[in-house]
Every structure is written in structure tokens, then in C-alpha cells.
């Protein structure tokens, strides 16, 4: 009966409640976390700059923006109404011919055109004019092949294990799989990195507001610029490959891969899925 | 001494550990949560479709995509190299004249142009061709004014309380504040909603992969199309206003406001901050 002293009872009770509460805590965590079928790597891959906003709490690390900038009169190119309608119609028709092309020939493209389309992308608006983008243009065949190896390795796991049957079914109509020949054949790969924060001249961090949205807007302009120049591409988001590609390309840790665009001319036998776009009344509501 | 029975000791211990563990749990939560300075509303506002991927676990609610689609030969418009260089150069120069303009005249714009720029935006690529966008075009002066009231109310709180001194400083060079006159004066407001999921014909949910990135790409094309047509805009992300604007415009709960673009001609006295863009070698790396 010595065993049932108040002290021992106390110890046993403390242990039991401790274990119970810990079990409780871990099941709580499970509720918050994506479930097994929920593809946590997608969520992780998609994770954007929100954590950077949180870091803002470390006030000393962050640099405030410089003083006020002069404001100047805005000069505008105005066209007659008829010309506006014509220009907007022609722009739509040009872009409506764009398709995501996965069969790209190995023919070289003029590098001046690549410079120009990236300059065009760089005119995109960005949160507080932070311009949080880096465009890595890969022409070197060995580096392209290393990129292909990394992506195919990860994509095979994506298709077979990570994506789940629904995603694989949803992709079926594109006839895509983890073999990405265009990563070797396309004369140029453009890897677009978002800078989740920047650096001021004094080395302190600069907040990049809405960096993922800003860089995606720049990619939209890039896609339009490529179409305008007569080149083809396909917007890809290599799932789970970001960190390895970042290291391969020697990009700093504040840069995260957002998209990869293989760029070139279509190969002679290029095909595309016979998909239609939504009509204007399916995407626009007027109030 | 009756009070110190083993039973009482047990109860006291259970209570103490319980209280201790709860306190521990709440401090854990605080570590995970953004701190006071960290602008949790930004994080919330920026939260994208990742939760939808999590919902995927509820398998019955979700509809798989239809069967395979026919693949057809891709037909391509190829220009001579000289023409490609010229086209890409001119496109860059056109877009490089674009500025975010916050002074918009109340002059009406041709609605055919608005239709065309939205049709152009609708050609954007999207995750698994889900086209997860809704463009709400607001012309009605009363609705525009209600939008202004909602945004100014929230923006005043943003500037005075939510954003914190650093953000306000970073915005200083734009001379912005919570007064948004352009919401009344611009003849057209385009509110762009991302559909965080869609619906199949049978009412089941359809996954919209990478919907925020896709809709941002479409916004990039929209911005280019507006510039090409000779209209001005400013890309705004009305912080914390999404739900109220969604309700005002009768949009369903699967749609979340991503951006608002006031569109029109610049007012006569429009000014812009005298900012420069990064040069090509600051944004491009060649490998």
C-alpha cells in the first residue's frame, strides 16, 4: 500500500494528462495540415510571400523605402476610337492564336528577340514598384539537360505518387507525362524566379509586396510578347523542383522558382489538344 | 490532514498540468500566427487556393475531368527573323510607355474595346485549361460609388492601423492614400475574381489548379491589351475588401477578388512618380 502514496498518484496523474494533451495536440495539428490525399507538396510549392510579411516583425532586418520621388506630368498616346477598336481587335486575334505547344524544334532563335520579350515582361506593374523578378535564360545544352533530369525525376514521382488519381485524370487530355523532351530540344528555357524579398543598398531586407502576383503578371506579358514575336512556349510550373533548380542555377535563397517556359519554334509535327476557350459571356459580367 | 488524500492530490495535479499545457498550446499558436506587426489580414487576403487542394480529400464532392480530347496539328505564324526582332522591339517600346495612372478622366470609353481587352485576357493559359477567371465590368455610377465607399472605408483602416509604418513609408513615393477618386471618375472598373474551384455540369466541384497564378497571368495580358488600345489603368489589390465587394457584386463564394483595375483615359493634369525601371542586366541572367 506504500505504492499508493499521494506523491505517486500525483506523478501518475501528471504523466497521464501530459500524454493525453500531447496526443490531443498532434491530432489538432493533423486537422490543420493537409491530409494524405491533399498533396501537401502542392501547397508548399504554391506557398507565396505571406511568410515574408510575417518576418516583418524582425524590424531591424528590414529597410524602409527611400524618400519621396518627384511627380511628373503623364504623357499619353491617344488613338481615335475607330483605331482603338481595331487595335484591340487585332491584339485579341493575335493572342487567340496562341496555344501551349509541347513540341519544340531545336532550331536556334534570335537572342535579340529573347532580350526584347524579357524587357517587355520587365515593364509589368509590381507591388510598390519592387520589380521582384529574375529571368534566367538557359541556352547551354548541358545545363538544359541537367534541368530535364531534375524535372523528369521529380515529375515521375509527381505523376506516380504525389499528384493522386484525380490530377492525373485531369491532365489526361493534354497527353502529358513526366517525359519532357522539350527541355532538351527548345533552344531557350526561361526560368522565372520570384524574389520573395529584396535587399537594400545597406544589406537590409526590402519587402516585396504581392511578389507572386506581380511576377505572374510579368509572365502574362512575357507570354503575350513571345506570341507577338512568333515564338511558341508552354507555361509550366515544375512541381517540387524549385529548390534543386535554384541551386543548379546558383540563384540566391530569396528567389523561388515560379515558372519555366521552354521557348522556340514549333517542331514540324507539333500537335495541340483540340480545346475551345470560354466565350466572352462566360467570363465577363457587366454591371 | 484529510485534505491531502491521494484523490485530492490527483485532482490538483490534473488541473495544474491541464492549465500548464493549455497555456503552452496558446503560446505555440502565437508562434505560428503572424505577430501584431505582421499584418495577418495581408496573409489572409493573399491566401490562395491551397485550401482547395486540401478539400480534395472529400473525394465525393469533386468531379474528374472528361475523357481525352482529340489532338490536332498546330498551325503556326512564322515571321522572318528581321520581322521578329522588329515586332518584339516595338512591343517592348509600346509597353514601356505604360505607367500606373491614378488620375482618370470621367470620359466614356468605347465598350467594344473593353470587350476586346477582356477577350484577350481570356486567352491566357491556365492550370489544366480551367480558365478560372471572372471579369466584372462595372459602369453603373451608383455601384462604382458603393465600391468606392467600401474600399475607402477599409483602406483608411489599412493605412492608419493595419499596414504598419513601414508599408505606409514604402507607399509614400506614390503619394497614395485611402482616397480613391478614380473609383468614381473612371468610366469602367474591371474587378477580376479568381475562381478557387469550379463546378462540373453535375454540380460537383472541379479543381482549379494554380488558379491565382493563372488569373494573374490573365491580368498581365489585360494590362498589355489596355496599353495597346490606348487606355490607362492602375493594378490595385484592395486589401481586405474582397468579401464585401463580392457580396455587393453578387458573385458566388467560390470567387475571390484578386485585382481591381480602374480603366479610362488619363485626366488632363495626370501625373506619375518619376520612377525608372530596372535595366535588362538587372533582371536577366544568361546561362
Tens place of pLDDT for every residue, chain B, 287 residues? 444 566 656 665 566 656 554 444 344 333 333 333 434 334 344 443 333 344 444 557 777 666 678 999 999 989 999 999 999 999 999 999 999 999 999 999 999 999 999 999 999 999 989 999 999 999 999 999 999 999 999 988 888 888 878 888 888 888 788 889 999 999 999 999 999 999 988 889 999 989 999 999 999 999 999 999 999 999 999 888 999 999 999 999 999 999 999 999 999 999 999 999 999 999 999 99
For residue B11, the model assigns a pLDDT of 63
Using DSSP's 3-state secondary structure scheme, residue B49 falls into coil
Instruction: Identify the DSSP state of B245.
Output: H
Q: Is B187 a domain residue?
A: yes
Considering only the beta carbons, identify the residue of B10, B97, B129 that sits closest to A77. B97
In the A/B pair of chains, how many CB contacts fall below 8 A?
A: 457
State whether B46 and A42 contact (CB < 8 Å): no
Contact B53 A38 (CB under 8 A): yes
Q: Which residues of A touch B273 (CB under 8 A)?
A: 69-72, 129
Q: Do B113 and A232 touch (CB under 8 A)?
A: no
Nearest CA in chain B to A98: B123
DSSP 8-class letter at B101: -
Q: At what angle do helices B211-229 and A211-229 cross, to 10 degrees?
A: 60
Cβ atoms A287, B143 nearer than 8 A: yes
Closest-CA residue in chain A for B120?
A92
The pLDDT confidence band at residue A12, using thresholds 50, 70 and 90, is: low
Question: Does a structural domain hold residue A183?
Answer: yes
Q: Indicate yes or no: CB of B71 within 8 angstroms of CB of A103.
A: no
- Predicted confidence at residue B226, as pLDDT, reads 98
- Per-residue pLDDT averaged across A247-265, rounded? 97
Note the helical H segments in B56-102: 81-96
Q: Do A230 and B79 touch (CB under 8 A)?
A: yes
Question: Is the residue at B56 inside a domain?
Answer: no
B121, B133 Cβ separation under 8 angstroms:
yes
Let me know how long chain A is: 287
Q: Tell me the pLDDT band of A170, cut-offs 50, 70 and 90.
A: confident
Could B46 and A50 be called an inter-chain contact, meaning their C-beta atoms sit closer than 8 Å? yes
Please tell me which residue of chain B has the smallest CA distance to A235: B125
pLDDT number for residue B169: 84
Q: Do the chains contact at B219 and A217, CB–CB below 8 Å?
A: yes
**What's the confidence (pLDDT) of residue B102?**
96
Question: Which residues face B193 on adjacent strands?
Answer: B134, B257
Chain B residues within 8 A of A196 when measuring between CB atoms: none
Q: Report the first-to-last Cα separation within chain B, whole angstroms.
A: 82
Q: Is residue B176 included in any domain, yes or no?
A: yes
Neighbour-count burial for A139-156, b at 16+ CB within 10 Å, e otherwise? beeeebebbbebbbebbe
Contact B39 A53 (CB under 8 A): yes
Collapsed DSSP state (helix, strand, coil) of residue A114: helix
Q: Residue A108: is its pLDDT beyond 70?
A: yes
Q: Do A220 and B221 touch (CB under 8 A)?
A: yes
Which of B25, B113, B220 lies nearest to residue A84, judging by beta carbons? B113
Given A92, A118, A128, which is nearest B283 (Cβ)? Answer: A118
> Does the beta-carbon distance from B125 to A25 stay under 8 Å?
no
Q: Do A50 and B47 touch (CB under 8 A)?
A: yes
**Residues in A touching B225 (Cβ below 8 Å):** 88, 91-92, 95
Positive or negative, the CA dihedral A12, A15, A17, A20 is negative
Asked if A170 and B37 come within 8 Å (Cβ–Cβ), the reply is no
Q: How far is A287 from chain B (nearest CA, A)?
A: 5
Contact A216 B212 (CB under 8 A): yes
B105 φ, ψ (degrees, to nearest 5):
-75, 160
Residue in A71, A92, A133 nearest the CB of B283: A133
Is it the case that residue A47 has pLDDT exceeding 50? no
Q: Give the DSSP H or E segment for B30.
A: helix B6-32
Q: How far is CA B172 from CA A67, A212, A231, B242, B262, in A?
A: 7, 22, 40, 24, 21
Of A18, A74, A224, the CB nearest to B99: A74
Residue A70 C-alpha, separation from nearest chain B C-alpha, in angstroms: 6
Please give the residue that has the higher pLDDT: either A52 or A71.
A71
**Alpha-carbon distance B116 to nearest alpha carbon in chain A (angstroms):** 6
Bridge-based pairing state of the strands A133-138 and A71-73 = unpaired
Assigned domain for B108 exists: yes
Question: What residue ranges in chain B does DSSP mark as E strands?
Answer: 71-73, 133-138, 188-195, 197-199, 205-207, 255-263, 271-273, 284-286
Nearest CA to B158 out of B101, B237, B233 is that of: B237
User: Is ipTM beyond 0.90?
Assistant: no
Closest alpha carbon to A125 in B215, B108, B233: B233
Helix axes B81-96, B211-229, angle to 10 degrees: 90
Work out how many domains chain B is built from and give that number.
1
* Cβ-Cβ contacts under 8 Å, B182 against chain A: none
- For position A85, what pLDDT does the model report? 98
Q: Which chain B residue has the Cα nearest residue A275?
A: B69
3-state secondary structure of A273: strand
* Contact check, Cβ <8 Å, A53/B38: yes
Give the pLDDT mean for A79-96.
Answer: 98
Predicted local confidence at residue B23, as pLDDT: 44
d(Cα B215, Cα A10) in Å, to the nearest integer? Answer: 59
- Give the distance, in angstroms, between the CA of residue B216 and the centroid of all CA atoms in the same chain: 7
Instruction: Determine whether B198 is exposed, middle or buried from the number of CB atoms within 10 Å of its CB (0-12, 13-18, 19+).
Output: middle
The C-alpha of B263 sits at a distance from chain A's nearest C-alpha, in angstroms, of 14
How high is the pLDDT of residue A176? 82
Which residues are within 8 A (CB) of B279 and not within 5 positions of it... i.e. 6 or more apart? none
Distance from CA of A94 to the nearest CA of B (A): 9
Indicate whether B17 belongs to any domain. no
Taking each helix axis from N to C end, the angle separating A81-96 and A211-229, rounded to the nearest 10 degrees, works out to: 90
Q: CATH number for the domain including B202?
A: 3.40.109.10
Chain B residues close to A135, C-beta within 8 Å: 283-285
Let me know if residue B204 belongs to a domain. Answer: yes
User: Counting beta carbons within 10 angstroms of the beta carbon of residue B207, is it exposed (0 to 12), middle (13 to 18) or buried (19 or more)?
Assistant: buried
**What does the pLDDT read at residue B63?**
73
Give the Å distances, CA to CA, from B124 to A6, A36, A211, B117: 72, 32, 20, 12
- Smallest Cα distance from B89 to chain A, Å: 6
C-alpha B104/C-alpha A76 separation (Å) is 12
pLDDT of residue B6: 63
| Torsion, Cα of A236, A241, A242, A246 (10° steps) | -110
Residue A220 reports pLDDT greater than 90? yes
Nearest residue of A to residue B172 by CA position?
Answer: A68
Question: By C-alpha distance, which of A150, A149, A182, A176 is closest to A163?
Answer: A176
Confidence of residue A43 (pLDDT cuts 50, 70, 90): very low
**B72 within some domain:** no
Q: What is the DSSP letter of A192?
A: E
Residue A56 is predicted with a pLDDT of: 45
Asked if A131 and B280 come within 8 Å (Cβ–Cβ), the reply is no
CA dihedral in degrees (A137, B283, A200, B212; nearest 10)?
-80
Answer for the pair A84, B113: CB distance below 8 angstroms, yes or no.
yes
The range of the structural domain enclosing residue B163 comes to 100-266
- CB distance B68–A172 less than 8 Å? yes
Q: E strands within chain A?
A: 71-73, 133-138, 188-195, 197-199, 205-207, 232-233, 255-264, 271-273, 284-286
Q: Report the alpha-carbon distance of residue B82 to residue A230 in Å, rounded.
A: 12
Which parts of A131-210 are beta strand (E)? 133-138, 188-195, 197-199, 205-207
Amino acid at each position: 500500500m506504500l505504492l499508493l502514496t499521494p506523491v505517486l498518484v500525483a506523478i501518475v496523474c501528471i504523466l497521464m494528462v501530459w500524454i493525453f494533451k500531447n496526443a490531443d495536440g498532434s491530432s489538432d495539428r493533423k486537422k490543420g495540415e493537409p491530409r494524405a490525399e491533399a498533396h501537401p507538396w502542392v501547397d508548399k510549392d504554391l506557398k507565396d510571400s505571406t511568410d515574408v510579411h510575417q518576418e516583418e516583425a524582425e524590424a531591424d532586418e528590414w529597410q524602409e523605402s527611400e524618400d519621396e520621388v518627384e511627380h511628373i506630368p503623364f504623357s499619353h498616346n491617344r488613338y481615335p476610337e475607330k483605331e482603338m477598336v481595331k487595335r484591340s481587335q487585332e491584339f485579341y486575334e493575335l493572342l487567340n492564336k496562341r496555344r501551349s505547344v509541347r513540341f519544340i524544334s531545336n532550331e536556334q532563335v534570335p537572342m535579340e528577340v529573347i532580350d526584347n520579350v524579357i524587357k517587355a515582361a520587365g515593364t509589368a506593374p509590381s507591388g510598390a514598384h519592387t520589380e521582384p523578378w529574375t529571368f534566367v535564360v538557359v541556352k547551354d545544352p548541358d545545363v538544359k539537360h541537367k534541368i530535364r533530369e531534375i524535372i523528369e525525376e521529380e515529375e515521375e514521382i509527381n505523376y506516380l505518387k504525389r499528384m493522386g488519381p484525380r490530377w492525373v485524370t485531369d491532365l489526361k487530355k493534354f497527353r502529358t507525362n513526366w517525359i519532357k523532351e522539350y527541355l532538351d530540344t527548345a533552344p531557350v528555357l526561361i526560368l522565372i524566379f520570384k524574389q520573395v524579398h529584396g535587399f537594400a543598398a545597406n544589406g537590409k531586407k526590402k519587402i516585396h509586396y504581392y511578389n507572386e502576383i506581380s511576377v505572374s503578371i510579368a509572365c502574362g506579358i512575357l507570354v503575350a510578347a513571345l506570341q507577338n514575336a512568333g515564338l511558341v512556349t508552354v507555361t509550366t510550373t515544375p512541381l517540387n523542383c524549385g529548390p534543386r533548380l535554384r541551386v543548379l542555377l546558383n540563384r540566391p535563397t530569396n528567389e523561388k522558382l515560379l515558372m519555366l517556359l521552354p521557348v522556340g519554334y514549333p517542331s514540324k509535327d507539333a500537335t495541340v489538344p483540340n480545346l475551345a476557350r470560354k466565350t466572352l459571356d462566360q467570363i465577363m459580367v457587366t454591371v
